[in-house]
Structure 1
């Protein structure tokens, strides 16, 4: 009997201990910010952690900038530091080696080739897509052509500039041609690696149209160099332009950190959507964007078509695969990619479970 009584006490103690342990580990505070849970959802890390982000001041990094300035990273006891690289060829090996934790990437054949050849990085969330009717990455037509090019088939025989081959630029260009019922042989393709140089060329009439990007599109319209033509979502409605990339070590070995990092990032993206879609807190967000990006004129932020950033981090995964297939068809891909391994949305999905899905209008 003594033995039975003692076993019962021990069992009860184990149950109570387990409950106490679970309660101690539970990283939620019923959605209410407090001194211990300033975020209102996940507990801050016990030890301060630094996360290195490869970001060059692109507008698509809005989620990082806003989360930093509004203290969302700080709420989780995370310090972020931005690291700049001369080009993505340098960035990817550093990311794979864990020298940086998070980076922004753009779809190119060289990006996919790096993954196929063993550079292990994870594609984890959206970092840029066109918003229907308000594309930030789309075609412009020179003022000398506004009465000539009125519909997509009118691009036939015209000089059209893009910034790079075997990239998202050429992919969108090819989507436009297919929509117009044209082929590359029907137009004169001009390679101009600098978007800024397209402004002078289109004003001088040495090119007729260009696949340009904000804020240069809005600046060119203001200066009378060109006009926006149609919208990229007319023919490429779900193009994944930019990607959030994570290092394998950061994603797999530091899940307490990466989960909180992603929650903070998505909160920043949501403030961005609130500002530019709902008009909530817009002045504050524009101040943050002028601080961190090359677009320093607050008035111009009212005129640009801003980068689309999904508030739940969702990507157009089918389009990522279509881009890869397009580069492969052009002979630019030298290996195979297992997209089930390369694309890892698990941490983004876990973060959404903690902070809740975004309330869309």
Structure 2
């Protein structure tokens, strides 16, 4: 499959954080802007060296981006003097398509779609980490599935082809002696909420691999049982990244540092105010999943901004696995994947 086919078209929708106003732009992109909607501040005067007046951030409806949600709601972006606009997507490959096209300044996306974009465009760089772990492979409750091998002949949903969940599923099927294209039926793209509905519907999907909070929601709603958490598949695996291009790094270093600082403020808040963080993330401003869901779901992730050695090494592992699977054409190591000058200049950061 050509890489361009990995970028799935998102359906246009209308959304809002406070008054349910969502504006669709392009193919399935929803913009959440304004001071009350995305932590925006008064724009920096035009011409300030190293500063971009408005920084567009690609995000997804997932717990993986909780530090950014917190940074917006708690006005950490405003405190760091950065004006941001959140642009909503449903999967990482879509975000990376827009980062490469220059329509998004900073994308929060999983390691595999970032590597797939880097494989075609060497200007793509990971400048920070978001978290480790945070997904699960789950199946319709009552099917009695005991192992990945039991999934043979079943329909499995993934958020999108080329996502980190898709790559992890491919590897698990391969380990179980199953062929991704012949032994199972893949349904993609499929949003997390639709996965749960399909699991509850006769004739719907049999299993899914998806990010939080949808795994926890599926279990709490009685629709599914977890077969494997992603930390069971690849302990401590890197997941979402903070990614941009060399052009943004070189032209707007102060804006990049400000974003990274605000993101770390969000990480620190989750660590020290977990209950309030769960309430914010699960509230109507963001995921609308509810505090009780988030109190459980957020436990499956370790948040950070500065990637540790486990994150760096795990990213290189993904690059090798994707090359072996035929998804990447080239070899990649941390030397060409990462540009950590900005995040390293901030000093050490705590994990949550």
Q: Same fold (TM over 0.5)?
A: yes
Q: Secondary structure at the match of 1:161?
A: strand
Q: Distance in 1 between matches of 2:176 and 2:103?
A: 45
What are the residue-to-residue correspondences of 1:250-261 with 2, within 5 Å?
250-261=248-259
The yes-or-no answer on 1:126 pairing with 2:119 is: no
2:85 equivalent in structure 1:
81
CA contact (8 A) 1:120 1:248 kept: yes
CA contact (8 A) 1:156 1:182 kept: no
The yes-or-no answer on 1:198 pairing with 2:202 is: no
What are the residue-to-residue correspondences of 1:132-211 with 2, within 5 Å?
136-146=134-144, 149-150=145-146, 152=147, 155=150, 157=152, 159=154, 161-163=156-158, 164-177=160-173, 182-185=176-179, 188-193=183-188, 194=190, 195-203=192-200, 204=202, 207-211=205-209
1:241 equivalent in structure 2:
239
CA contact (8 A) 2:127 2:340 kept: yes
Say which of 341, 344, 347 aligns to 2:339.
Answer: 344
Whichever of the two has the greater Rg, that structure is 1
Q: 1:198 to 1:190 in 2, by over 3 A?
A: farther
2:10 equivalent in structure 1:
none
Q: Distance in 2 between matches of 1:184 and 1:265?
A: 40
Q: 1:266 to 1:154 in 2, by over 3 A?
A: same
Q: Secondary structure at the match of 2:268?
A: helix
Q: Distance in 1 between matches of 2:313 and 2:197?
A: 36
Say which of 304, 314, 324 aligns to 1:311.
Answer: 304
Q: Following TM superposition, by how much is the alpha carbon of 1:328 offset from its aligned partner in structure 2, in angstroms? A: 2.1
Q: Following TM superposition, by how much is the alpha carbon of 1:288 offset from its aligned partner in structure 2, in angstroms? A: 5.2
What are the residue-to-residue correspondences of 1:109-124 with 2, within 5 Å?
111-118=114-121, 120-124=123-127
Aligned residue pairs, count: 297
1:330 equivalent in structure 2:
325
Q: Distance in 2 between matches of 1:124 and 1:292?
A: 27
CA contact (8 A) 2:157 2:205 kept: no
The yes-or-no answer on 1:105 pairing with 2:109 is: yes
Q: 1:125 to 1:223 in 2, by over 3 A?
A: same
Give RMSD over aligned pairs: 3.4
Q: 1:307 to 1:55 in 2, by over 3 A?
A: farther
What CA deviation, in whole Å up to 9, does each residue of 1:240-260 have, x standing for no partner?
Answer: 222111232332333233223
1:358 equivalent in structure 2:
350
CA contact (8 A) 1:93 1:119 kept: no
Q: 1:137 to 1:92 in 2, by over 3 A?
A: closer
CA contact (8 A) 2:219 2:225 kept: yes
Q: Following TM superposition, by how much is the alpha carbon of 1:168 offset from its aligned partner in structure 2, in angstroms? A: 1.9
Structure 2, unmatched stretches of 5+, are: 1-43
Q: Distance in 2 between matches of 1:92 and 1:213?
A: 18
Higher RCO (CA 8 Å, separation ≥ 6 residues)? 1
Q: Following TM superposition, by how much is the alpha carbon of 1:200 offset from its aligned partner in structure 2, in angstroms? A: 4.2
Q: 1:256 to 1:338 in 2, by over 3 A?
A: same
Say which of 283, 286, 303 aligns to 1:293.
Answer: 286
Q: 1:159 to 1:118 in 2, by over 3 A?
A: same
Range 88-97 or range 291-300, more displaced? 88-97
The yes-or-no answer on 1:268 pairing with 2:266 is: yes
Q: Following TM superposition, by how much is the alpha carbon of 1:158 offset from its aligned partner in structure 2, in angstroms? A: 5.7
What CA deviation, in whole Å up to 9, does each residue of 1:187-207 have, x standing for no partner?
Answer: 932212214443344343655
Range 258-267 or range 193-202, more displaced? 193-202
Q: 1:200 to 1:83 in 2, by over 3 A?
A: closer
Say which of 227, 247, 259 aligns to 1:229.
Answer: 227
Q: Secondary structure at the match of 2:131?
A: strand
Q: Distance in 2 between matches of 1:322 and 1:296?
A: 33
The two structures have a TM-score, normalised by structure 1, of 0.69
Q: Following TM superposition, by how much is the alpha carbon of 1:119 offset from its aligned partner in structure 2, in angstroms? A: 5.5
Q: Secondary structure at the match of 1:313?
A: coil
Q: Secondary structure at the match of 1:229?
A: strand
What CA deviation, in whole Å up to 9, does each residue of 1:276-312 have, x standing for no partner?
Answer: 4xxxxx2255235524423342333234355624334
